[in-house]
Amino acid sequence: MRKNTFRTLQAISRLGIMKYLNIQLQLRMQGKYAKFEHNGLKITLRKNSSDYEVFRQVFVNHQYKLSDYLDKKPTVIVDLGCNNGLSMAAFKNKYPDCTIIGVEPDTDNVEMSKINTAAFSNVFIEQKAVWNEITTIDLFDPGTGSYSMNIVQEGKKVGAVETITMDEIFAKYKLDHIDILKVDVEGAEVELFKKGYTDWLKKVTVLVVETHDRKRMGCTEALFKAIAPYSFSVSGQSESIVIRFYHDK
């Protein structure tokens, strides 16, 4: 109860009472989608889903407000686990000249990502799961729907998806660096940081990760073992760990 009250008051404080009420009204009206504008963006959320929670993380908690960690405007952002596309839309709104590559295994989320980034150019979405090798993996729904499809064998198996590696992303999009790498992959942090990271991790400036040890032990351990050889600073921001690398030192 107290948590919900705090979240409501926080949203009202940061969005304004009229915008907050308009969003809640949109979510309660008939129809499949709630549609409204925020910060110049046309936002679409699925009703009776976790989309509002994602909106709250991105636009109320400012989970991916990372300008303080950058020395210059980013030109390349990779969003692993882009969900409904709101994080990509926020990045693109802040940095309109950047190229963004999103990776998302869930079909419904990919469609929402396309809707929420339709106004932008140089946004690319891969319907795959990030992994440390090219293969096919099963997807499971732990009961939260598209919000957190994962590879942890929990809940109902909902299908299978091809994987993509970071090396493949670098090669396909001809990247020589990534300014911001956002990682929210529901437990696949273990595979991402377990092996096959030495060539690409040294080309990342800011790494923002939401680890999921509550679902799968070893996520945070794998992350910090992978970054240990490098010079970096680390801090927390909302539900994420933010790592700023200093590869030239």
Q: What percent of the chain shows pLDDT beyond 70?
A: 93
Amino acid letter, residue 236: G
Task: Give mean pLDDT, residues 37-42.
Answer: 95
Domains of the chain, residue spans: 1-61, 63-245
Whether pLDDT at 93 is above 70: yes
Model confidence over 163-221: pLDDT tens digits? Answer: 999 999 999 999 999 999 999 998 899 999 999 999 999 999 999 999 998 888 999 99
Whether pLDDT at 119 is above 80: yes
Sorted by sequence, the CB contacts under 8 Å of residue 23 that are 6+ apart come out as 15, 34, 36, 52, 55
Higher-pLDDT residue of 143 and 195 is 195
User: Do the bridges between strand 240-245 and strand 204-209 make them parallel or antiparallel, or are there none, so unpaired?
Assistant: antiparallel
Q: Which two tokens stand for residue 123?
A: 């946004």
pTM: 0.93
Whether pLDDT at 155 is above 60: no
> 17 in helix, strand or coil?
helix
Compute the distance between CA of residue 243 and CA of residue 190 in angstroms, rounded to an integer: 17
Confidence category of residue 61, pLDDT binned at 50, 70, 90? very high
Q: What percent of the chain shows pLDDT beyond 90?
A: 81
Amino acid letter, residue 246: Y
Task: Give mean pLDDT, residues 66-87.
Answer: 96
User: Do the bridges between strand 33-38 and strand 41-46 make them parallel or antiparallel, or are there none, so unpaired?
Assistant: antiparallel
Whether pLDDT at 146 is above 60: no
Whether pLDDT at 156 is above 60: yes
Among 1.10.760.10, 3.40.50.150, 3.30.930.10, 3.30.565.10, name the CATH number for the domain at 63-245.
3.40.50.150
DSSP H/E element including 19:
helix 17-28
Pick from 17-26, 110-119, 134-143, 163-172: least confident: 134-143
Predicted local distance difference test score (pLDDT) of residue 202: 96
Let me know if 13 is exposed, middle or buried by CB neighbors in 10 A (0-12, 13-18, 19+). Answer: exposed
Compute the distance between CA of residue 41 and CA of residue 50 in angstroms, rounded to an integer: 19
The answer to whether the Cα torsion of 24, 25, 28, 32 is positive or negative is negative
